[in-house]
Copies of this chain bind each other. A is one copy, B any other.
Amino acid sequence: MALPTQTDDFPGWYQEVVRQADLAENSLARGTMVIKPYGFAIWEAIQGAMDAVIKRTGHQNLYFPMLIPSRLLEREKEHVEGFAPEVAVVTHAGGEDLAEPLMLRPTSETIIWDAYSRWVQSYRDLPLLYNQWANIVRWEMRPRLFLRTTEFLWQEGHTAHETAEEAWEETLRMLEAYREVAEGTMAMPVHKGRKTAAERFPGAVETTTIEALMRDRKALQSGTSHYLGQNFAKAYGVTFLGRDGEEHFAEATSWGSSTRLVGGLIMVHGDDKGLRLPPKVAPVQVVIVPIFRSDDQKTRVLEASEKMAGAWRVAGLRVKVDDRDDLRPGYKFADHELRGVPVRVEVGPRDLDADQVTLARRDTGDKMALPLAGVEDVLVGLMPEIQQALLDDAIAFRDAHTHHVKSEDALRDALAGDGGFVIGAWCGGADCEAKVKADTKATIRFLPLEQEDPGAACVVCGAAGIEIATWAIAY
């Protein structure tokens, strides 16, 4: 079935790509999803890269329970107000009603900082640099596959430090780790920045974020790293004997990235034919489509295809031979384009007679006939080339849809017109921020990591600007 075009109906395009490329589907409980094998393999690639960076930066994995006694959430005031409305509660287990209800974790600061109160005694116990891969439940009123689901998979890092400086460095280190995976593995360009007070994680002193621009010119928050100050240490009583012989509260960070990244990958690279996958996360990097009419041709072409596939796998490529015999080549071409396989190789009897194959790049659509002898080297070389081309493409798209404005009218016009990232001066006032949101649905996606003087008046109220704000309509 044909996809809606991105221009006509982006949400419909997204939904159909997810369905037809077999990435995920809705499940029975409200807002939950099944991540299907092809979608899960993409997630495993992202997860593998993220896990490697998390470990390289000195963190260890561990695992805390999903079930959290309700009383724990209540200790940090902003945190409970932020999460209580989304929480799912277990009230019955093992055949009887529970004396105390148990929450399904909406995030794990509460149970982890309760444990840290027992784990931390002295500065010698610090820093704690821990991460967990886990499932999270937040009740969603408007669920959407990968982007906003009642249950999702993520990693959450929770670190404890002696000093504020160290904790802030950690916050930025992990934000940079997210940028590295987004750009280096997913070929998804992101801006790093600071959130406004209104957009902060409940309980955070500062929230930092990576923000990407999707093909419908909406922004996607793709990972956040929080500096939590001493808020959780005070709520859960995490003190340590310092080098100075005094008791101090520990300083905290937390940082998370989730299966939402798969949604970002789809929307940052996809086109009207479907997915375009960067080679580093593509479950299949090269698909061989054998072309034949007779049984004799079939035997010959399949044998040659399997031989090529074997050699290319040894060279480190993920190769699939599409030997389904009930489907025509044209159908297979479209199917693999939909699934975003970076390179298609067509092999028919005439190709074999001429000792050549035909390559087709998914990202550009370019086709080229190549001598069989050198094709392995070409394929190996194409992988980083396509990876880079997709990143360049996405950067160019983002730049083309980034606007600088100096007045509220221009801001409103840009957001209502082209969309994209709209940059202007801001006075720092919550009223101005709220006014733009009410008028345009756009939010301030980020401020620079270090406050910068915009050298201009606030685009909303005309008072002195103190921040450079980047607005966008966001997922």
Residue numbers of A with Cβ under 8 A of B are 25, 27-29, 32-37, 39-41, 44, 60-69, 72, 84-95, 101-102, 104, 111, 114-115, 124, 130, 134-135, 137, 139, 141, 150-151, 153, 326
Contact = CB atoms under 8 A, between A and B. Distances in A.
Number of chain copies forming the complex: 2
Contacts of A28: 65, 68-69, 72, 111, 114
A224 to B, nearest CB: 22
| Highest count of chain B CB atoms <10 Å: which of A44, A90, A141, A151 | A90
B90 A62 contact: no
A133 to B, nearest CB: 9
8 nearest interchain CB pairs? A94-B139, A32-B65, A88-B93, A37-B60, A29-B67, A35-B63, A89-B92, A27-B65
Contact of A62 (B34, B62, B114, B137): B34
Contacts of A124: 326
A61 B150 CA distance: 21
Contacts of A111: 27-28
A279 B315 CA distance: 30
A36 B61 CA distance: 8
Contacts of A64: 27, 34
A36 B112 CA distance: 11
Given A27-B64, A35-B62, 13 more contacts: A27-B65, A27-B115, A29-B67, A32-B65, A32-B67, A34-B63, A37-B60, A40-B61, A66-B137, A67-B151, A84-B95, A91-B92, A135-B135
Contact of A60 (B32, B41, B94, B153): B41
A69 B150 CA distance: 14
A137 B105 CA distance: 14
Contacts of A95: 84-85, 139
